Structure formats: structure tokens, C-alpha cells
Structure 1
Amino acid sequence: MTIRYTEDHEYIRVEGKIGIVGISNYAQEQLGDIVFVELPSVGASYKKGDEVAVVESVKAASEIYAPVSGKVVEVNEKLNDEPGLINADAAGGGWLLKIELADEGELDALMDEAAYADHTA
């Protein structure tokens, strides 16, 4: 299992050809209490860097960008009723979407955990 991060604080946890996408724990701490999530449609395709979702907190709305290109194969429906799952477990139950990777090579441009820790320090 590979986990990579973007400079905009999205993570992607890769399992085979599927990437599980969410926002980092650091990002949810910066946003504060998350009150609404706008998720993409299953079956929609995105290019790396496209806006795929919106997370709204009591402080601000934040666009979420695709860390890689691919097709959305699942969204976390639980977030419609429980957006606070992102605050409670950003890297686990608070994931946003699953994307089928179009080009695994795009992962190479993302940060690993050590580089991301330096980025947020």
C-alpha cells in the first residue's frame, strides 16, 4: 500500500489500481469542524489537478483536487450525513472518493510521508 500527498493536502492511498482520496489530518485540523461535503459523481473522469470535491467547514470552503487522473469508482456516502467523519478519522473512515488510476506514473510527482511531514512543518 502506497500513500502519497499533494501540496494542497490531499492524500491518495493506493491499493492495486484504485486510489482512495481524502484530505490529510493536517488539512482537517486547519479547516476546523467540517459541516458539508460536496462529492463527485461515480463514473466521472478527472485529470490530475481538476477540482473533484468541496469540503466546507465553519471557517471556509476548500476545493479538493484530484491527485491523479482517473475515473471515480466510489464515493463515501456516509459523509453526506456525517461530514465530521473527516475530522474524526481523516485518513480512515473520512475518505472522500475512490479513483481508478489512469496513469500510475503520476504518483511519482507526489510527496511521500516524510516529504509531506517536511512540507507541513
Structure 2
Amino acid sequence: MNAAFHVHPVDLAIVALYVVFVVWLGFHFARRHESAEDYFLAGRQMTWPLIGFSLVASNISSTTLVGLAGDAYSTGISVFNYEWMAAVVLVFFATFFLPFYLRSRVYTMPEF
């Protein structure tokens, strides 16, 4: 394969507009927040469904979608016990450890 890599100017313009929009959006919303805690924790105003959706979205990655499916193909469906155990562990930590961390008012582990 000796094909040269070529990006059309329209594609570059779309990517550039997207980057400019994301940077503008970041600056626009950053002005609304007074502190880092306000920015990273949404002023501690988020409801539990939003936090739950955020947690699920953070745990879904290419490892989950592609890697575990490939591993299940090669080793068997038992690899999905990994996901079930993760759900059990998340509930365990939320029940027993999370209240302690919430009382300490920290929002990063290095800060603790």
C-alpha cells in the first residue's frame, strides 16, 4: 500500500471549527464557576441519577466494548463475571466507604 494520506480542506475546516467551538465552550462555562470545587463537582448540586450516568459512562471504554467481547470469544463467556463483580464492588464501596469520603469533603484521592 503506497497510497498517500490526504485530508481534504473541508475535513480540516470541520475539525478546526470543532476545536474552536470546544475551546470557546470551555472558557464560556469556566467563567460561571468561582472555584475548582465548583467546576469539578458542579457546586455539589448534581442529583444521584446524573452521578450514576457519569459513573457508567466513565466505566465504558474500548476495553469494555471490544476487549471483553474478544476475550469472551477466546476464553468463554465467563469473562463477563468481571462486569458483574464490578457492579457488586461499586455498590459495596458506595455503601461502606463513600459516606466516609463525603464527610471528609475531599474530591480527589491525592487530596485525601
Q: TM-score range by the shorter chain?
A: under 0.3
**Higher CA-based Rg:** 2
Q: Which has the higher helix share?
A: 2
Q: Which has the higher strand share?
A: 1
- What is the TM-score normalised by the length of structure 1? 0.22
Higher relative contact order, structure no. (Cα contacts within 8 Å, ≥ 6 residues apart): 1
